[in-house]
Structure 1
Amino acid sequence: MRLSLASIAIACVAEAQAFSDSSPFILFSTAEFSAPSENAQLQTRASVLRSVTDILSSCPTDRYLLASQPGAHAVDIRDEQSSCSMPNLCRAIASERVHGRYGVAEVVTSSGAEHDGNPQVAGFQSLADSIQSACQSRGKSVGVDEVKLAPLSGSVDSVKRRETRANNDYELGKFLDALDGDYTVILYSEPSGPLVYEPSFQEPVHMDLKRQLDPLVLRSRADSLPDNRPLFEKYQFFTPGIFMALIVAAVMLSILGVGLKAVASLQVSYGAFDKEMGPAAQKKQL
Structure 2
Amino acid sequence: MRTGLLLSAALAPLVSAFADTSPLFLYSTERLPRNVQLGKYQTFGRAEQFLDVVKATVSQCTSDAYILILQPGVHETDFKDPRSAPQIRKFSETDRFMSVMDAVGYVDLNVVEDYVKTKCQAHTVTVDASTSSFNSFEENSTAQVIKLDFPVLPIHSEARKKGHTQNDNFLSALISMMPTAKYTVIYVSTPVGDPGLLVHEEKKVVQHETESFVHHQSILARDISDVEPADDGDNVGGVLSRYQFFTPVLVWSILLFLLLAYIVSIGLRALSSIQVSYASFEKETTTNDPKKHK
Query: TM-score, length-normalised on structure 2?
Result: 0.51
Which residue of structure 1 lines up, in the alignment, with residue 23 of structure 2?
24
**Could you say if the C-alpha distance between residues 123 and 56 of structure 1 is closer, same or farther in structure 2, counting changes exceeding 3 Å?**
same
Deviation at residue 164 of structure 1 after TM alignment: 1.4
**Could you say if the C-alpha distance between residues 106 and 145 of structure 1 is closer, same or farther in structure 2, counting changes exceeding 3 Å?**
same
Which residue of structure 2 lines up, in the alignment, with residue 101 of structure 1?
97
Assess if the C-alpha contact under 8 Å between 2:75 and 2:192 holds in 1. Answer: no
1:1-286 correspondence runs (5 A): 1-2=1-2, 4=3, 7=6, 11-13=8-10, 15=13, 16-33=15-32, 34-36=34-36, 40-79=42-81, 83-94=82-93, 99-109=95-105, 123-136=108-121, 141-155=142-156, 158-179=157-178, 180-193=180-193
User: Matched residue pairs, number?
Assistant: 171
CA distance, structure 2, for counterparts of residue 35 and residue 52 of structure 1? 12
Assess if the C-alpha contact under 8 Å between 2:5 and 2:80 holds in 1. Answer: no
**Could you say if the C-alpha distance between residues 92 and 100 of structure 1 is closer, same or farther in structure 2, counting changes exceeding 3 Å?**
closer
- The one-letter amino acid paired with 1:184 is T
Which residue of structure 2 lines up, in the alignment, with residue 198 of structure 1?
none
Assess if the C-alpha contact under 8 Å between 2:91 and 2:97 holds in 1. Answer: no
Q: Which has the larger radius of gyration?
A: 1
CA distance, structure 2, for counterparts of residue 62 and residue 22 of structure 1? 31
CA distance, structure 1, for counterparts of residue 50 and residue 91 of structure 2? 22
Deviation at residue 178 of structure 1 after TM alignment: 2.4
CA distance, structure 2, for counterparts of residue 87 and residue 100 of structure 1? 16
CA distance, structure 1, for counterparts of residue 165 and residue 173 of structure 2? 13
Deviation at residue 187 of structure 1 after TM alignment: 1.1
Assess if the C-alpha contact under 8 Å between 1:65 and 1:184 holds in 2. Answer: yes
Deviation at residue 18 of structure 1 after TM alignment: 3.8
**Could you say if the C-alpha distance between residues 123 and 57 of structure 1 is closer, same or farther in structure 2, counting changes exceeding 3 Å?**
same
SS of equivalent to 1:25: strand
Deviations 1:231-278 (A, max 9, x none): xxxxxxxxxxxxxxxxxxxxxxxxxxxxxxxxxxxxxxxxxxxxxxxx
Deviation at residue 191 of structure 1 after TM alignment: 2.2
- The one-letter amino acid paired with 1:186 is I
Deviation at residue 128 of structure 1 after TM alignment: 1.1
CA RMSD of aligned residues (A): 2.8
Report the structure, 1 or 2, having the larger helix content. 2
Assess if the C-alpha contact under 8 Å between 1:29 and 1:99 holds in 2. Answer: no
Deviation at residue 151 of structure 1 after TM alignment: 0.9
Deviation at residue 144 of structure 1 after TM alignment: 0.8
CA distance, structure 2, for counterparts of residue 91 and residue 7 of structure 1? 12
Deviation at residue 125 of structure 1 after TM alignment: 3.2
Deviation at residue 44 of structure 1 after TM alignment: 1.4
- The one-letter amino acid paired with 2:100 is V
Question: Structure 1 unaligned runs (5+)?
Answer: 111-121, 195-286
Question: Structure 2 unaligned runs (5+)?
Answer: 123-140, 195-294
Assess if the C-alpha contact under 8 Å between 1:92 and 1:176 holds in 2. Answer: no
Deviation at residue 90 of structure 1 after TM alignment: 1.5
CA distance, structure 2, for counterparts of residue 92 and residue 145 of structure 1? 18
CA distance, structure 1, for counterparts of residue 69 and residue 146 of structure 2? 8
Identity %, equivalent residues: 26
Deviation at residue 103 of structure 1 after TM alignment: 0.7
Assess if the C-alpha contact under 8 Å between 1:24 and 1:104 holds in 2. Answer: yes
Deviations 1:139-186 (A, max 9, x none): x7211101111211315xx22212211221221221132243211111
Report the structure, 1 or 2, having the larger strand content. 2
**Could you say if the C-alpha distance between residues 22 and 30 of structure 1 is closer, same or farther in structure 2, counting changes exceeding 3 Å?**
same
CA distance, structure 1, for counterparts of residue 29 and residue 144 of structure 2? 15
- The one-letter amino acid paired with 1:45 is A
CA distance, structure 1, for counterparts of residue 150 and residue 92 of structure 2? 18
